[in-house]
Amino acid sequence: MGAFFGNIALKTKDRNLVKDFVKQYRHLAYISPSSDNWIIIYDKYIEGGPGGAELAKDLSSFFNTTAIYFLVHDSDFLFYNLCFKGKDYDGYISGAADSLDFFGMDKASELEKKAFIGANKGEAKELVKLCAKRSGLFNLTITNKKQLVGQVSKIMKKRYTFSEERLRDLASALGLPSKYIDIGFKYLQQDGPDIYKEDFDNFILVKGSNKELAIRNKFTLPKAEKDVIGSIYNRGDCLSFKLGKNSFGGLLVVDRNEKHISGSTVNLIAVLSINQKIKPTLKDFKRATVIQLLNCYVEKASGKTDFDVVSNIKIKKQFNNSNYTYASWRGIVNSAKRERMNGGKGDNDQLTVQLLIDSQ
């Protein structure tokens, strides 16, 4: 019997923030020591399931960085989903033609099968671009980017008896912590002390929930967050932004929290249903529907946003900011686009701007 495991490689070294993120999702997981600015997350509930790709996307969005969900199935094939800043960037399945039944494609048409295989062939250059360091190429003697792409491409195409060996070789080439990459939650729980000896004490065990299914929960900005400055908009501000090349979207500042536990001031933002070719007016905002509510903060690195204040309206409805997830202003446009792709309904399709204005 081959190996079955999954994990997520996240390009960050802030383990405490990763721990708080995973814990607030009510997950049970191990977190590896930081190595060359990478952390590996071994989540019990998404191991071997489709939830791993979604969690990787959420991590990459919140941390504004690269995240890769790796899955090894019965040592026969390796799957990865590459994400960057909340966006699916690339996908790969070794021997995709031999794993059609696992992904429910065995009864698909030949055209659909061909499309599936083509979409999951993986691009070595994308891995190198999002994973490799800006200078230096780790433990390899390769000094040219094209040579590194070629090296990674060979690993992806080479025949392996065990897919976990392919994963280790990929990690080594790209600078991911190869000694932490070829294992999952179950194996860590059973054999972690034997495999890693004293180093196992440096792993963090996050006890989020004992439920058998991963449950997405609202994430609270931790007290230690230090790269945050105060809110920059006032309650009632109507904000316009470019949703696409030829379309505008709209946001409404529904609250300004001056006493957040992190010590920062944040804006509670309503992502609206506005999607039009011309810049929205006050009338457009008043007749819009609320798609999603997010707490937004500004990183010191940016200190600005790309939103225009169209007008200001008086909002009577009161909110508890702690009930809503946190995001940076840099990620809110991506969030709005994702909600639009999902049909633009979100979780608040019955809440309108007019109700915010009329509420007592």
Q: What is the pLDDT of residues 119-149, one digit of tens each?
A: 567 788 888 888 875 433 444 444 567 888 8
> What pLDDT score does 69 carry?
92
Mean predicted confidence (pLDDT) in 158-169: 91
pLDDT computed for residue 213 by the predictor: 38
Q: Label residue 110 exposed, middle or buried (CB < 10 Å: 0-12, 13-18, 19+).
A: exposed
Residue 280 and residue 310 in contact, taking contact as beta carbons nearer than 8 Å: yes
Higher pLDDT, 276 or 137: 276
Task: Give, to the nearest 10 degrees, the angle between helix 124-131 and helix 163-174.
Answer: 50
Query: Domain locations in the chain?
Result: 5-207, 228-358
The residues with which 256 forms a beta bridge, in sequence order, are: 267
Model pLDDT for residues 184-243, shown as the tens digit of each residue: 999 999 999 999 998 999 999 988 654 433 333 333 433 333 444 445 778 899 999 887
SS3 category, 192: helix
Residue 182 pLDDT exceeds 50: yes
What's the pLDDT at 175?
A: 87
Q: What percent of the chain has pLDDT over 70?
A: 67
Counting Cβ atoms within 10 Å, is residue 117 exposed (0-12), middle (13-18) or buried (19+)?
Answer: middle
Asked whether the predicted pLDDT for residue 46 surpasses 50, the reply is yes
Q: How far is CA 231 from CA 64, 78, 109, 269, 300, in A?
A: 19, 44, 52, 11, 12
Q: Provide the pLDDT for residue 70.
A: 92
Q: Which stretches within the chain are classed as H helix?
A: 15-24, 51-62, 110-119, 124-131, 145-157, 163-174, 178-181, 185-196, 282-286, 329-341, 353-358
Looking at the chain, the whole-number percentage of residues with pLDDT higher than 90 is 20
User: Please, are residues 204 and 31 in contact by the beta-carbon 8 Å criterion?
Assistant: yes
**Token pair in block for residue 133:** 């360091």
Between 269 and 48, the higher pLDDT residue = 269
Residues 69-106 have pLDDT tens digits of 998 888 888 888 899 988 888 888 887 556 666 665 56
d(Cα 119, Cα 127) in Å, to the nearest integer?
Answer: 15
What integer is the mean pLDDT of 276-303? 77
Average pLDDT, the chain: 76
pLDDT of 284 over the 90 cut: yes
Which comes out higher in pLDDT, residue 21 or 33?
33
